[in-house]
Amino acid sequence: MAEHREVVVYSRKGCHLCEIVKEGLVKLERRGGFTWREIDVDSNEDLRRQFTDEVPVVFINGRKAFKYRMNEQDFLRKLAN
CA distances from 5 to 22, 33, 57, 63, 68 (A): 16, 6, 16, 11, 21
Of 17, 14, 44, 2, nearest to 25 by C-alpha is: 17
**pLDDT tens for each residue of 24-75:** 999 999 877 799 999 999 999 999 999 998 999 999 999 999 999 999 999 9
Rounding to the nearest 10 degrees, give the CA dihedral for residues 17, 21, 72, 58. 100
Query: What pLDDT does residue 3 have?
Result: 65
Domains, the chain, in order of start with CATH, read: 5-80 (3.40.30.10)
Query: What pLDDT does residue 22 have?
Result: 97
